[in-house]
Amino acid sequence: MTDRHTIANGYLTATVKSDGAELCSLQDGTGQEMLWQAGPEWPRHAPVLFPIVGELRDDRLEVDGRAYRMTRHGFARARRFAWGARSATACRLVLHDDGQTKAIYPFGFRFGIDYALTDDALEVTYTITNTGNAVLPVSAGAHPAFRWPLADDIDKAAHHLEFESPEPAPIRRLDNGLLKPEPVASPIVGNMLKLDPALFDADAIVMDKLVSRSVRYAAPGAPTIEVSWEGFRDLGIWSKPQAEAGDFLCIEPWYGTASPADFTGDFRAKPGLMLIPPGDRRVLLYRVRFC
Digit-coded pLDDT (tens) for 3-54: 999 999 999 999 999 999 999 999 999 999 999 999 999 999 999 999 999 9
- Residue 180 main-chain phi, psi, to 5 deg: -65, 150
Q: Which of 7, 1, 2 is nearest to 92 (CA)?
A: 7
Euclidean distance between CA atoms 139 and 126, whole angstroms: 11
Digit-coded pLDDT (tens) for 174-183: 999 999 999 9
Digit-coded pLDDT (tens) for 74-97: 999 999 999 999 999 999 999 999
Would you state the torsion angle of the CA atoms of residues 92, 93, 95, 96, taken in this order, to the nearest 10 degrees?
40
| DSSP assigned state of 123 | E
Q: Which of 284, 286, 287, 285 is nearest to 138 (CA)?
A: 284
What percent of the chain stands above pLDDT 90?
Answer: 96
Euclidean distance between CA atoms 185 and 97, whole angstroms: 40
Would you state the torsion angle of the CA atoms of residues 192, 196, 201, 204, taken in this order, to the nearest 10 degrees?
40
Contact 290, 174 (CB under 8 A): no
pLDDT of residue 244: 81
pLDDT of residue 2: 67
Instruction: Name the helix (H) or strand (E) containing 101.
Output: helix 99-102
What percent of the chain stands above pLDDT 70?
Answer: 99
Euclidean distance between CA atoms 54 and 47, whole angstroms: 12
Listed in sequence order, the residues at least 6 apart from 65 whose beta carbon sits closer than 8 Å to its beta carbon are none
| DSSP assigned state of 163 | E
Instruction: With cut-offs at 50, 70 and 90, classify the pLDDT of residue 242.
Output: confident
For range 129-135, the mean pLDDT: 98
Euclidean distance between CA atoms 104 and 267, whole angstroms: 12
pLDDT at 1 over 60: no
Instruction: With cut-offs at 50, 70 and 90, classify the pLDDT of residue 198.
Output: very high
Radius of gyration of the CA atoms of the chain, in A: 18
pLDDT at 111 over 60: yes
- Residue 33 main-chain phi, psi, to 5 deg: -80, 130
SS3 157: helix
Euclidean distance between CA atoms 288 and 13, whole angstroms: 12
pLDDT of residue 23: 98
Euclidean distance between CA atoms 82 and 105, whole angstroms: 20
Domains assigned to the chain? 4-290 (2.70.98.10)
pLDDT of residue 48: 98
Euclidean distance between CA atoms 91 and 114, whole angstroms: 6
Mean per-residue pLDDT over the chain, rounded:
96
Digit-coded pLDDT (tens) for 250-290: 999 999 999 999 999 999 999 999 999 999 999 999 999 99
Euclidean distance between CA atoms 158 and 82, whole angstroms: 41
Is pTM beyond 0.75 here?
yes
Interior/surface letters 252-281, b for 16+ CB within 10 angstroms, e for the rest: bbbbbbbbbeeeeeebeebebbbebeeeee
Contact 141, 258 (CB under 8 A): no
